[in-house]
Amino acid sequence: MTIAAVVPTYNSELYIEQTILSLCNQTLSFDQIIIVDDGSKDDTVEILKEMKEKFPIIKLIQMSNNSGAANARNIGVENTECEWILFMDSDDIAHPSLLEELTSHLEYLNSNNEEEIYNLVHSNSRHINEDGIFIDELLYGQEYNSKEAFGYLLLRNTITTSGVLINRDEFQKHGGFQKQYLYSEDWDLWLRLAENSGIAHVKKTLVDIRRHSKNLSRNIRNMLDYERKILENYSYDKIKTAIFKRSLPKLRNTCDYVALLYRLDQWDLGFHHLLSLEENETDAQLLFLKGLYFLKKERLNEAEKSFKNVIYIDPNDGASLNNLGVIKLLQGYEDVGHKFLDKSIALYPNYMDANHNLKLNSPYSIKDVKFTWRRLRSKLISYVSH
């Protein structure tokens, strides 16, 4: 098993040395470290040339023009013959045992599963700030067999690109990263791989993901638009089949399928599937999806009832608290609305929608408020919304 690390860089002088040292000092050594500099204008290349003198396994490829991280990663893969590729972004840090832990788990799974093949493995990660200080852990990664992987990943990308170990042949077979996607290009690739491969996962925190001003300035609207473009690659029947392949109750699979239909702007079709279920006023996800439908149709009184039922079941459902707060603002009950919004922010301090809504002044307009269209993860990442 030969392994290369592939690192795209662009104006990465502040952190690139830490990143490369973390790869060079693994308990299990890489065969190659391929660094593709994407036209840096700062001292990134000079730093890398010095490191190349100290570490012969480093191969530096310099691009004359900036073409994006997706293309740089593809070029890195094309320039190695190693069988496996580990991706790492230029400001993130691999823990010393990352490669050893990933390969050990991958080899165990592939040698003990005659009917399964795993072509990708990843670990938990944690956020650090610009100074390397711990912020929080990302523990939502899961291991999926080949039957269920595609269905689970359709719902949400739980794989962080930094620290992913992937089979090179499978990467190339599926076309690598698609350059036309400016956002979520990693999720697009994981989906294509998951159609015929299991997704392996190590339940240890082995990568530090750096959050700083450059990578926080994401446009959420653009990200959601690209997610929709990626989902549109698949027919409704294919999505439904993948969702219902998961070994989950009909209620759960139906709700997840409806959530995807909503993201594809198929609101009436999604609501039709909800109505096909037996009446269930004790399932928070079902009630939340009904509330979203009523919001989309601007039937605020019915939406309010649905979200109140969610809160009765789960008092800490941040998205429902935000949506209730907005509904009360629109109905003219400002104090009540602010109480709901305050509670949602107390639970989720980085909650952008709720923070936005609290800053609004009367009179309130449905065009100005921000509803939340998905239930929240247990930990929220801060993004800049435009």
Residues 159-172: pLDDT tens digits?
999 999 999 999 99
Going by pLDDT thresholds of 50, 70 and 90, the confidence category of residue 218 is low
Alpha-carbon separation of residue 176 from 169, 285, 372 (angstroms): 10, 35, 33
* Ramachandran angles phi, psi of 118, nearest 5°: -115, 115
Query: Token match 């003198």: residue?
Result: 53
Domain boundaries in the chain? 3-216, 235-359
Q: How confident is the model at residue 379 (pLDDT cuts 50, 70, 90)?
A: low
State residue 384's pLDDT score: 35
pTM above 0.85, yes or no: yes
Q: What tens digit of pLDDT does each residue of 267-295 get?
A: 999 999 999 887 777 899 999 999 999 99
Same fold, 3-216 and 235-359: no
Span 74-116, pLDDT tens digits: 999 999 999 999 999 999 999 999 999 999 999 999 998 778 8
The pLDDT of residue 114 is 78
Structure confidence at residue 232 (pLDDT): 96
| pLDDT tens track for 111-146 | 987 788 999 999 999 999 998 888 888 878 899 999
User: pLDDT-derived band of residue 382, with 50, 70 and 90 as boundaries?
Assistant: very low
* Banded model confidence at residue 385, pLDDT cuts 50, 70, 90: very low
The pLDDT value given to residue 300: 97
Whether 324 and 307 have beta carbons less than 8 Å apart is answered as yes
Concatenated DSSP letters of 58-71: EEEEE-SS---HHH
* Per-residue pLDDT at 223: 81
What is the distance between the alpha carbons of residues 85 and 192, in angstroms, rounded to a whole number? 17
At 238-264, the pLDDT tens digits run 999 999 999 999 999 999 999 999 999
pLDDT at residue 380 in the model: 53
Is the CB of residue 291 less than 8 Å from the CB of residue 186?
A: no
Amino acid letter, 323: N
Average pLDDT, the chain: 93
One-character DSSP codes across 171-221: HHHTTSS-TT-SSSHHHHHHHHHHTSSEEEEEEEEEEEEEP-HHHH---HH
Nearest Cα neighbor of 291 from 262, 315, 316, 333 is: 262
Amino acid (1-letter code) at residue 229 = K
Superfamily of domain 235-359: Tetratricopeptide repeat domain (1.25.40.10)
Helix, strand, or coil (residue 40): coil
Q: Say whether 7 sits in a helix, a strand or coil.
A: strand
Is the pLDDT score of 378 beyond 80? no
Q: Any idea which of 11-20, 235-244, 322-331, 371-380 has the lowest mean pLDDT?
A: 371-380
The CATH number of domain 3-216, selected from 3.90.550.10, 3.30.360.10, 3.40.50.720, 2.40.30.30 = 3.90.550.10
